[in-house]
Structure 1
Amino acid sequence: ELTIKGPIRMDDICTHQNLHTLRITFYGRSKPHIEKRAVDWDLSEKSPILCDLSLRYLIVDSPLCQRLLEHPHLKKLELAEADIKGNALRGFWEACRRLESLRLRRVKFNGLPMSIHQGAVLERIRNLVLEQWKTEWNSMFIAFHCPMLETLELNTLYFRVRISIHQPIQKDRWDVIRGLGYTFHLEPDSDDWDSKWATLIDAIGHCFGSITHFMHDKGKFGPRSTKALSFHFNTLVSLDTLGSNPDISSMIRAVLCSCPKLEYLQSGNIFARDIVQDEPWVCQSLQELAVSLRVGEMEQDLQPLIFERLSSLVRLKILSMYKPWDDNCDEGVLNFRLDCGLGQLVTLKELAFVAFPYSKPGTMVQRLEMEDVEWMMNNWKNLKGVDGVLNCMDSELDQDLYKMFRSHDICMHRNLKQVQDLVPYF
């Protein structure tokens, strides 16, 4: 793999006979400096196995870009922040015929001649990602020509969704989704978000197939949107409703009890009374759980039952409970103490990161002791990082607990790159 950020010299690329992945990035939209010789070499001869290409902020109709797109073994292409027009359109379309995976990030197509793509079939493309700040997707025409498409990912300001395609996409069906996208863009302050999300999810399922990944950053999930999403519970792999209202406990419980393929869940508060209900959790593949486990003052005796539920998540790598506090919620949190049931989590052999809540005046948070931390280090051998307040009642002890973790090479505070590598959910 080779990444170039700045001027391109021919020797940067031609000296790598085994080059598999090439990423070229320029900052801003100024015309990049490209060594003259760089447009004259035979890339298929100099880098014969190149198959993965990423071009960012590059002028697509430049001779260099055209040479790159002509590589006969190209299978995966990402274009970001580009305007494709003129002669570049034909080169881009011809490249698409050889691709298996295509990702377009804020790419515009201007003046696309119908003669170039009319009747064409991109039968090799299996994975398509379209990303726009607004939900306009002017690159949507590509989807109509991919009869073998398996996954489609749509990314906007307000949501990200990955879909497992059941049948070829028809233009009239795409127009339904595009129309909903305009609605989201034109009415960003609408109070009826529950209805909006339900309509979007229903339309995606009807038009395309099964949702496998869903994330939204705007508005509230409610009964209607939860019901719409429930038709995709059997295929759902990751769900992020962080942008929703914090008190969606019943939805979180429904997800944990109904999504056998779930690997990632990030959401709001889930209360003890919902966690301990009789219906079992079926998400045995869960690798990251990021929710606020809330326990009321009169529910302290439920903590062992909560730990029992968590102990079933044997593939869990990340357990995060330090979500932003809800000012309207006075309930405390699950206390990770041995005398509360912590010992039941001995089954979490793959756990690598734990984030405890930060303190808030007047609430019950963590009150860990030395014995609790010692137990974690002895039983969670893969633990790499810890964050949050460990003991809110004794600041000196809190610091001592942190020192104990550090003495065993367990880092304090979340290392985002490290954690994201553990569970690459999107």
Structure 2
Amino acid sequence: MYKDFILLSSPFHFKMEPHPLHIPEIIEMLASSLTRKDLVICLTVSKTFHDTLIRLVWRSIDIKSHRLQQRKRLPAGEVLQRHKHLIGELQFSGYFPKEFMSLRGCKSLRIVRYLVRGRSTLDIKRLRSFVDLVRAHKNTIQEVEYEWDIGESSELSDQDLWGVLVMCPNLNILTIHNKQIRGEDIDAFFRVCKKLRCLVLRTIIFLQPPTDLLDQDNDVLLSRIRTLELSNVIVVDPHPHSSMYYLGMLIRKCPNIRTLTYETDCLQSIHSQEQMSHDFIKAAFLQDPWTLPHLQNLILRRVPFSDIEMAAVLRRMTQLKRLQAPYCEFGPLCLQELLRDRGLQDSKDLNDEGTKEPRRFCDMLEVLEFNQYAVESRGMTQAILSSCPQLTSLYASKITMTEIIDGAEWVSTELTELIIDLEYDLDTQEREGVKAERETEEALAQQRMVYNQLGKLKRLKTLYLTGSGDDGKRTVDLRLIAGLDKMAGLKNLRHVEFRGDFHQQIQAEDARWIVNNWPMLEYLNGNMNKDPSRLHLLSEIFDANEILYDISSSPFHVGF
């Protein structure tokens, strides 16, 4: 009877404590790394395991398989009915069994996803069943994701769908894919949007311009929205404005937005992209009055902003934690905005002496991504690394070893992801008429200075040294003789890439040092050595330590 307890003794007392595997909190911690299949098996371990894990097994049901064998694994009949109150999420992905579509009384149901492509004779029936499912659980539903083939949606009436969503008092998150929104549905659509804290629109066509967005006096104000994503959203026949102008005006109707993601169609010509970007910037960011005082995360994908345009946007913002703009030419003007002191914003910015603290974007910024090929971005990476102490992720442009050596100390010691094009630009010398790169003591000392900066990034998990990995690049030598040992403190490093650099001469002692000092390393990507025999020895070392590596991009690659 004492097998479930541990006896703790001392000179003064005896105490019975439960076994760790009979404590629900510990069981939950163990379960966090298990698959659904493993969780089901663990239900039979003990009653405590069953009572603790049963709700995790039923928390999310993904109904997606067309294969008969996998369909049989789905819960059904009495088992489904007995546990339906535990279901928190239902996701239909191309498979819509009636038994699940007709579920009622799922008291914990918070999330419903309806994802389908293609056309069949039962589409309308399925849509109606989905609407009925949401209606039956309207008081518990908090998130809905909905996808319909964009070529078929014009045949269906969406009034029931919008009507049901309006009736959900706790609905906070709505994601819609591949949908046409007709003129008669626009008002109903915006009534739903007024309830939301998060709205995601992906590949959406407004068949009629939402003209109410242009009226400053109407009641289309989406004041609850904190997160907004607009990806490939267009407005048909927007004359005299453009689609991008309407989307910019939609953003202005969200005064409390914190996170904005905007993406355009990559198939547009360069001229069309630039014009669309100009219309978007003008409508969303450059009109008076400024309506986005809380915006702090700005993600702009496939939007070609110039340095002038991006700086104009940053100039109006008052907060900035995340800026991801891979097509933006982040240049001197943007850097100036990053470093500019914005002064006192509110009472929270007072220090203990009652004086104001500086408010600079570089002191707030956590994630930054910009165009690595932009000409005006040269020199920006070194300036950022020496100015942004809160930065955790940086996807930036070229930085040379000389810039690092001559530049200020890096302060971005919180980085976990660093993707840069670190260029080897140290002097080369002529020998016997052939340009030869001679590793002088001075050159090696200079590389060690670069490694000193990299060695400060002790939280780093991902490190790309050659940006996108274009062929013909040369980066820092990954060898002990060049100062690799300065990175001994990077114990969290998991992923290292140096694709396109065919100058590496990693030796066996370097590889052994890597496996011994980077215990979390999982993946190396890049040519490690031109010599096939040495490369074979390196592969044996990494194979023995279960470290994956990819050298297929190298012109010197020899298969083993």
TM range (shorter): 0.7 to 0.9
Asked if 1:307 is matched to 2:397, the reply is: no
Amino acid at match of 1:412: Y
Asked if 1:152 is matched to 2:289, the reply is: no
Larger CA deviation: 234-243 vs 301-310 = 234-243
**Is the radius of gyration larger for structure 1 or structure 2?**
2
CA distance in 1, matches of 2:219, 2:287: 13
Secondary structure, counterpart of 2:399 in structure 1: strand
Asked if 1:369 is matched to 2:499, the reply is: no
Q: CA offsets, 1:123-175, max 9 Å, x none?
A: 3211222334787152334333333322333333579x9xxxxxx98964689
Q: CA offsets, 1:167-215, max 9 Å, x none?
A: x98964689xxxxxxxxx9xx9xxxx9xx62221232124444443334
**Does 1 or 2 have the higher relative contact order (CA < 8 Å, sep 6+)?**
1
Partner of 2:461: 317
Residues 234 and 121 of structure 1: CA distance in aligned 2, closer, same or farther (over 3 Å): same
Residues 280 and 3 of structure 1: CA distance in aligned 2, closer, same or farther (over 3 Å): same
Cα displacement (A) at 1:345: 1.2
Q: Return the match for 1:81 from 159, 172, 178.
A: 178
Q: 1:189-268 counterparts in 2 under 5 A?
A: 197-218=306-327, 220-231=329-340, 232-245=361-374, 248-268=377-397
Residues 67 and 252 of structure 1: CA distance in aligned 2, closer, same or farther (over 3 Å): same
Partner of 2:487: 345
Asked if 1:131 is matched to 2:222, the reply is: no
Cα displacement (A) at 1:343: 1.5
CA distance in 1, matches of 2:412, 2:119: 46
Cα displacement (A) at 1:387: 0.9
TM-score (norm 1): 0.76
Q: Return the match for 1:51 from 142, 145, 150.
A: 142
Q: Return the match for 1:4 from 52, 69, 92.
A: 92
CA distance in 2, matches of 1:320, 1:253: 16
CA distance in 1, matches of 2:376, 2:308: 21
Asked if 1:281 is matched to 2:389, the reply is: no
CA contact (8 A) 2:524 2:549 kept: yes
Asked if 1:140 is matched to 2:140, the reply is: no
Cα displacement (A) at 1:99: 0.9
CA distance in 2, matches of 1:270, 1:139: 36
CA distance in 1, matches of 2:211, 2:399: 53
Residues 333 and 112 of structure 1: CA distance in aligned 2, closer, same or farther (over 3 Å): closer
Residues 411 and 204 of structure 1: CA distance in aligned 2, closer, same or farther (over 3 Å): same
Larger CA deviation: 14-23 vs 293-302 = 14-23
CA distance in 2, matches of 1:50, 1:375: 53
CA contact (8 A) 1:130 1:155 kept: yes
CA contact (8 A) 2:162 2:192 kept: no
Partner of 2:542: 405
Residues 111 and 297 of structure 1: CA distance in aligned 2, closer, same or farther (over 3 Å): closer
Secondary structure, counterpart of 1:83 in structure 2: strand
Q: CA offsets, 1:83-131, max 9 Å, x none?
A: 2224432332222222111122343432537499922443321122233
Residues 31 and 245 of structure 1: CA distance in aligned 2, closer, same or farther (over 3 Å): farther
Amino acid at match of 2:146: L
Cα displacement (A) at 1:54: 2.2
Secondary structure, counterpart of 2:257 in structure 1: coil
Structure 2: which 5+ residue stretches go unaligned? 1-88, 235-242, 267-272, 278-283, 292-301, 341-360, 428-442, 552-560
TM-score (norm 2): 0.59
Amino acid at match of 1:316: L
Structure 1: which 5+ residue stretches go unaligned? 162-167, 176-184, 415-426
Amino acid at match of 1:136: M
CA distance in 2, matches of 1:34, 1:353: 47
Residues 34 and 395 of structure 1: CA distance in aligned 2, closer, same or farther (over 3 Å): farther
Identity %: 24
Q: CA offsets, 1:208-262, max 9 Å, x none?
A: 4444333445475543444345444333322223452479451110010111222
Residues 216 and 170 of structure 1: CA distance in aligned 2, closer, same or farther (over 3 Å): closer
Q: Return the match for 2:192 from 91, 95, 100.
A: 95
CA contact (8 A) 1:108 1:138 kept: no
CA distance in 2, matches of 1:198, 1:31: 52
Q: CA RMSD in A?
A: 3.8
Q: Return the match for 1:69 from 165, 171, 187.
A: 165
CA distance in 2, matches of 1:78, 1:291: 33
Residues 17 and 11 of structure 1: CA distance in aligned 2, closer, same or farther (over 3 Å): farther
Aligned residues between the structures: 383
CA distance in 2, matches of 1:155, 1:211: 19
Residues 271 and 62 of structure 1: CA distance in aligned 2, closer, same or farther (over 3 Å): same
Partner of 1:38: 129
